[in-house]
Structure 1
Amino acid sequence: MNMPIPLPPSFAPGQSSPVPGTPPLSQIVGAAQALVPLLRERAQATEQARRVSAEVTDRFREGGFFKLMQPARFGGYEYGFTAFIDVISTLGRGCTSSAWGCSLGAIHQWMMGTLPLQAQEDVWGQNPDDIVCGSYAPATMAERVDGGYKVQGQWKFASNVDNSQWALLGVHFPPTEKGGAPAAGFLLAPRSDWSVHDNWHVAGQAGTGSKTVLIDKPLFIPEHRKITFAELSSGAPPGADVNRNPIYRIPFLSAVPVCLVSPILGTAEGAVEAFIELCGTRVTRGAVAGAGNQLSQFFPVQSRLAEASALVDAARLMLYRDTTEVEQIAYRGDAISIDQRIRNRRDHAFTAKMSQAAVEALFASVGGAGLALDQPLQRMWRDANAIARHISLNWDAVSSMVGQHLLGLEPKGQY
C-alpha cells in the first residue's frame, strides 16, 4: 500500500531532497547559472563537433547535475522533476545541445533508480559517476534465453552517447503467454558491448551527438538489466523504494518528458536575453529607408519581444503546474489518473510549441545580420525547431491523442 509521507513544513516535493547533507537546490542552480557564459562561448564549437565535449561533461559532474536525481545509495541527491526543470532550463540559456546532453544523462539516473538493484550495482558499483544514454523506440524483438535475453541491431538517436558508459536500449519482449502481445521496455548494456555509428549530421541540435548504438552480433543481457514500460508506469517499479522516496511512484511519461522540454524552455529564455542584447547594439542599415535607427525603436520589434516573453512565462508556468501536481500526488500516496497523465503529455508538447513560437517571434526580427553562424539566435532557432519536432513533443501526434481522450475515444499514443 502506498502511504503518504509526513513532511516538514519547509519540504517541497520535487524541489527538496530527502537525503541528508545534500547541497541546496539554490546552490546547484547557481552552479548551472555560472556555466551559462561558458556554454554560450562554446555553443558554436559544440555544434561543429557534433557532440558535447568531455570537458563540459566534467563541469556538469562537478556541478552535481548528474547526481540531481540519482539514488542516494550511490551518492545521489534524489531531487524531483521540478528541481530538474530549474537546472536544465538554466543550462539551456547557454547552449541547447549542451543542456540536452546533460538533461538526458541526468534523467536517466532517475530511470536507473527504477531498475532492479543489481542493475544499479552494475552501473554505479565501481563508479558512481557513470552516466547512461538511451534509445527509446523498441528497435528489435529480444530473444528469451536462460537467465536473460539476446539482442542484436541498431538503436538510433542515442543522445550524448560519446560521454556515456552505459545504454538503455528499447526492445520488444516476447509475450509471457501464448497469444499474448509483446511488451515494450528497455535492456541495459555497458559501453564494452556496443559500438557507435557516427551518423549524426543534422540542421538542428547538432551538438547533442545523437548517434546510433550498434550491436552487430547476438548479445546476452541478464534478466536483472530489464525493465518494461508497464513497470515504469506502475507506481512501484522493481528497483525503487517508493515509500521512502515517492518520486518513483510517478508514471514514466507523466514527468520524464520534461527532459525534452526543459532545454527548449531554457533556449527560449536565452533567446529573449540574446534579443534584448542585440537590440541594444544593433543599428539598422536600411536598404531603402530606415537606416541609422536602433533596432529597439521599431514597433514590431517591441511587440515581438513582448509576445516572446509572455510565451516563455506561460510555458514555464504550465510545466511547473503539471509537474508540481504529480509530485504532490505521489507524496500523498494517491494514484495519478489517466486524465492527469494525458493532460501532462498535452502540456509537454504545448510547452515546447510555445517555446518554439517564442524563438520564432524573435528570429523574425533579426534581419540579415542574424543569419551569421556566430549569431546565437539563428542556432537557437534551428535547435528549437528541431526539438519541437521530436516525436514525443510533436504537437500533431500528441494533440490528436488528447482530442481522442476528450471525445471519449480510446487515446492512441504515449501517456
Structure 2
Amino acid sequence: MTANTDTAELDLPAPPEPGLTADQVVARAEAMIPELIERQAEAEERGFYAEDIHERFARNGFYRILVPRRYGGYEFGIETFLRVSMTLVRGCSSTGWMYSLGAAHALMAATLFDERAQAEIFGGGDFICPSTSVPSGSAVPAEGGGWTVDGTWSYSSGAPYATHFMGHALMPAREGHPPAPLLFVAPRSQWVRLDDWGQQLGLRGSGSHSIRMENGHIPDHLAQPGVQIAEYDATSGTPGRTLHGNPEYGGALLTFINFINCSMAVGMARGALDAYEDLLRVRTTLVPPMVPRYQDPDYQLWYGDAVGMIGTAEAALLNAVQQWHDATVRGPAAVTREVDLRLSAICRHVAKLCWDAVGGYIMPTAGSSAVRHGERLERVWRDMSTLRTHAGLSVLLPTIAMRQLARTLVH
C-alpha cells in the first residue's frame, strides 16, 4: 500500500538498502522476537532498550519505514510500520512501545510540514521523534522571528535515542480567547531528557521519559500555530501529499494515532497467547485425570476463544488500515472527520477484544504461578494493564471521539 516513490529522476539520496522490501523488514522484526523475549528484564531495569538493539533497529531499516524516499527513507507505508510494531511488541512490550512511539511520528512530520522543514527534519535519514498531544509549557514570539519555547512534556516515549521531539506548547491568549496550541518540532540540541522513568507498573522499559526545554528556539518553518495533530483537517490536501505524491502523507492522523495504540494491544495479546501456549504444553490439569492441559477440553475451549478474539482484533485493525489507505487514494476530500472517527471507533473495539481475550481467558486460567515476578505472562499482564491507563485509548476515545462520531452522522 505505497505510492510510486521512484526518486531516480530527482537525484535524491537512496536509502541504505535500495532493494529492501516491506516483507523483508517484517521478517527482520520476526527474527528478533526470541532475543527480545530474553532481554525483557534487562530493558525494564535500564528503562529503555539497549544501544546494540537500537543499532540493530537502525541497520534493519526500522527507523526509516515511514521516512520519505526523497530523504533516504523507505516509505513503505503504515501497514508495514504497524506490522513491525506488533511484531516487536510481541517479543517485548516495552521495546516495541518505545520503538513505535519514537518512529511513528515520521508520518506526521512528512504530512504536516513543508519542503524546507522536511529537508531539515529528515536530513539524518533515521528519524526518532517522541511526541505528546497534550499541550504543555509556553511558546512566545522570539526576537528576530521564530518562537521561544519552555516546558516539560511527560511520557515522551522514545526519548533515549531520539533525534527530535514533536510537541504542543501554548501561545499567549489573544483578545479574550484562551491560549492556542503551537505544534513544533525541536532538534535534539534544544531539549534534555529527564531521568524520571522506570517506576511504573508496566512498560518500565519503554523509555517514556519527560523532555524539558528551557528557552528553546524554534524557527518559524518548524512551527505551526493553531495545529493539533489529532484534530488536523486534511480534506484540502497536505504539504506532504503535494511534495511526495504519496497519498498516505495526506491521511487521517487521529486514526493513525489509534492504529499505533491498537498495534500495541494486538502485539501484547499475541505475546500473552505465546506464553499461554507454552503453559498448555508443559503443565497438567489440576485434578485427575492428570493430563497435559492442551489435551483437556476446557483448556482447549479457553485457548480457542482467545485465539479467535485476538485474530479478530488483528484482522479488524488491518482492515481498518486498508480503509484508511483507500480513503487517501480517493483524494483529500475523502479524508473526512467522519472517516477519521469511524475508523477510530473500530480501534476502540480492537483494543477491547485484546483486553477481553487476555483478561477473560488467558490470565484467569493460566494459574497464579504464571504471574510470579519475572514470568513472561506476568510482564505482559503488567504492560497491558498500563496500556489500559493510556488516556487517549481508555478515556478520550470511548467518550469524546464516539460523541463526535455520532454528531457527524446525525444532524
CA shift in 2, pair 1:239/1:173, >3 Å: farther
How far residue 118 of structure 1 moved from its aligned partner, in angstroms, is 2.8
TM superposition shift of 1:140: 2.1
2:259 alignment partner AA: V
Counterpart in the other structure of 1:358: 357
Q: How does 1:165-180 map to 2 (within 5 A)?
A: 165-174=163-172, 178-180=175-177
Which has the higher mean CA deviation after the structures are superposed, 186-195 or 201-210? 186-195
Give the residue type in structure 2 aligned to 1:359.
Answer: V
- SS of 1:171's partner is strand
Which residue, out of 307, 327, 330, partners 1:329?
Answer: 327
- Match of 1:29, SS state, is helix
What SS class does the counterpart of residue 341 from structure 2 fall into? helix
Amino acid at match of 1:95: C
In the alignment, the residues of structure 1 paired with residue 404 and residue 121 of structure 2 have an alpha-carbon distance, to the nearest angstrom, of 39
Counterparts of 1:95 and 1:140, CA distance in 2: 33
Matching residue of 1:262: 263
Quote the offset at 1:303 in angstroms: 2.4
The Cα shift of 1:348 comes to 2.0
Q: Count the aligned residue pairs.
A: 391
Question: Aligned pair in 2 of structure 1 residues 223, 29: CA closer, same or farther (>3 Å)?
Answer: same
Q: 1:10 matched to which residue of 2?
A: none
Structure 1 position 167, deviation (Å): 1.0
- Amino acid aligned to 1:133: P
- How big is each residue's C-alpha offset from its partner over 1:216-259, in whole Å with a ceiling of 9 and x where there is no partner? x3222111111322694334333552671111111211223322
Query: Judging changes above 3 Å, is the alpha-carbon distance between structure 1 residues 406 and 100 closer, same or farther for their aligned structure 2 residues?
Result: closer
User: How far 1:325 moved relative to its partner?
Assistant: 0.9
Q: How much has 1:124 moved relative to structure 2?
A: 3.2
Distance between the aligned counterparts of 1:123 and 1:163, measured in 2?
A: 15
- In 2: Cα distance, 1:112 partner to 1:344 partner: 22
What displacement does 1:339 show? 2.3
For the pair 1:392 / 2:389, whether they are aligned, the reply is no
Q: How does 1:280-359 map to 2 (within 5 A)?
A: 280-283=281-284, 286=286, 289-290=287-288, 292-333=290-331, 334-359=333-358
What is the identity, as a one-letter code, of the residue corresponding to 2:141? R
CA distance in 2 between counterparts of 1:408 and 1:332 reads 24
Q: Distance in 1 between matches of 2:140 and 2:252?
A: 27
* Alpha-carbon contact 1:70-1:76 (below 8 Å) kept: yes
Q: Which of 15, 22, 25 is the aligned partner of 1:25?
A: 22
Change (3 A) 1:185 1:380: farther
- Deviation per CA, 1:331-360: give whole Å up to 9, x if none: 121422332211122222221221122222
Q: Is the CA contact (8 Å cut-off) linking 2:4 and 2:246 kept in structure 1?
A: no
Gaps of 5+ in 2: 8-17
CA RMSD of aligned residues (A): 2.5
Contact 1:52-1:160 within 8 A present in 2 as well: no
Offset of 1:407 from its aligned partner? Answer: 5.1
Match of 2:207 among 201, 206, 209: 209
Deviation, 1:187, is 1.5
Deviation at 1:310, TM superposition (A): 1.4
Distance 1:348 1:168, change over 3 A: same
Decide whether the 8 Å contact of 2:170 with 2:181 is kept in 1.
yes
Could you say which residue in structure 1 is the equivalent of 2:67? 70
Q: Give the counterpart letter for 1:374 in structure 2.
A: G
Match 1:94 to one of 91, 94, 104 = 91
Code of the aligned partner of 2:325: E
Q: Report the TM-score, using the length of structure 1 for normalisation.
A: 0.86
CA apart distance, 1:260: 1.9
* Residues 188 and 226 in structure 1, CA contact (< 8 A), matched pair in contact too: yes
**Structure 2: how far apart are the matches of 1:301 and 1:389?**
30
Of 186-195 and 39-48, deviating more is 186-195
Q: State the 1:117 CA deviation.
A: 2.7
Bigger shift: 402-411 or 198-207?
Answer: 402-411
CA positional deviation for 1:119: 2.7
Q: Is the 8 A contact 2:338 2:409 kept in 1?
A: no
Q: Distance in 2 between matches of 1:118 and 1:292?
A: 69
CA distance in 2, matches of 1:181, 1:332: 37
